[in-house]
Amino acid sequence: MAKKVLLGMSGGVDSTVSAVLLQKEGYEVTGVYMKLHDNEAYHEENFRKVNIVAEYLGIEVHFHDLSEPFAENVYQYFVEGYKAGITPNPCVMCNRTIKFGEMVAFADSLGIEYVATGHYLRTDGQFIYQAKDPSKDQSYFVAEVRAEVIPRLRFPLGEWMKKDVKVFASNIPVLQSFATQKESSEICFVENDYTEILQKHMDIDREGEVLDAEGNIVGKHRGYMHYTIGKRRGFTVDGAHDPHYVTQLKPESNQIVVGTQESLSEQEFAITQINLFESQNDFECLVKVRYRTQAILGRVTIEGDKGWVVLSEPVFGLAKGQFAVFYDEDRLLGGGMIV
């Protein structure tokens, strides 16, 4: 009897190739298109593509409206994060609560054991590993996924290079018109700039004061929500000759603090919202403090629901709200939110 798998489908190349590969592996594939936000034209076009693919492959596909839990767990988290002066990572939260939370629950309702996506990840059924293609690896974004769901996950593209996926896709007749389509953005509900989202909910264009490290007023800025840690443009610093960077946001007073690049250097920081795939309280590992940063050797110490990370060398632009993600070589150990 064929093993059943629920596959998240978007109408794009990666999820469609995943469906073909899963069928080749002997799985009985059921597709699900997840509506996560309110761009109706976007969903209509993508679900049309999903249905074309589903008909070609002879699989059943569901349209699953998850806009309410997405709004609560991801969208509002994003908006409230910037309002509070942190730099949130909505993709990490979406993978925990929606793609490997609500989607797993939907699989349960259909009596389907396995759940698959087109993520570039590998798994052995116990742990998650970085993808073969380092340029597409998405392991950073699943550091908060619950450990108990890992045995149920399947990632057909984990051993593939993106260029080979595109070649494979170009030989699937129904996909030939999709194979050159634009890659989706990292944050699905942000079309151009994150401030466009924030402007829908609050006044972000309130001029404020720029402070130096000693608290002196040295310039003006457009409104604190326009800035993230490490940004070096869009504000004035009176009499400055060297570049200045945002080092701190003060949402309660609509102020930003700036300094030289050296003042962005951090080697130790606290974390919370800790999620580990095996129990350990004091360990050495590789640490990534943002998705596209280089992993650095560090030591992690956990006490209760909080932890402390000490890196072997400094990083620049460490931002509250982003996630520190831990690795043992290419094996994902988990992560925690930088506070």
Q: Please identify which of the residues 57, 59, 71, 188 carries the catalytic annotation.
A: 188
Nearest 5 degrees, angle CA 107-CA 113-CA 119? 75
Contact 217, 257 (CB under 8 A): no
Do strands 282-288 and 265-276 pair parallel, antiparallel, or not at all (unpaired)? unpaired
Do strands 306-316 and 323-328 pair parallel, antiparallel, or not at all (unpaired)? unpaired
* Helical pair 13-24 and 40-57, crossing angle rounded to 10 deg: 20
188 catalytic, yes or no?
yes
Exposed, middle or buried: residue 269 (CB in 10 Å: 0-12, 13-18, 19+)?
A: buried
Do strands 323-328 and 282-288 pair parallel, antiparallel, or not at all (unpaired)? antiparallel
Nearest 5 degrees, angle CA 300-CA 187-CA 205? 100
Q: Please identify which of the residues 94, 98, 150, 153 carries the catalytic annotation.
A: 94
Outline where the chain has alpha helix (H): 13-24, 40-57, 67-70, 76-83, 90-94, 103-110, 162-170, 194-198
Contact 93, 145 (CB under 8 A): no
What is the rounded distance in angstroms from the CA atom of residue 182 to the CA atom of residue 179?
A: 9
91 catalytic, yes or no?
no
Strands (E), 110-187: 114-116, 121-123, 128-130, 153-154
How many CB atoms within 10 Å of residue 326? Answer: 29
Contact 56, 49 (CB under 8 A): no
Task: Point out the residues that are catalytic.
Answer: 94, 188
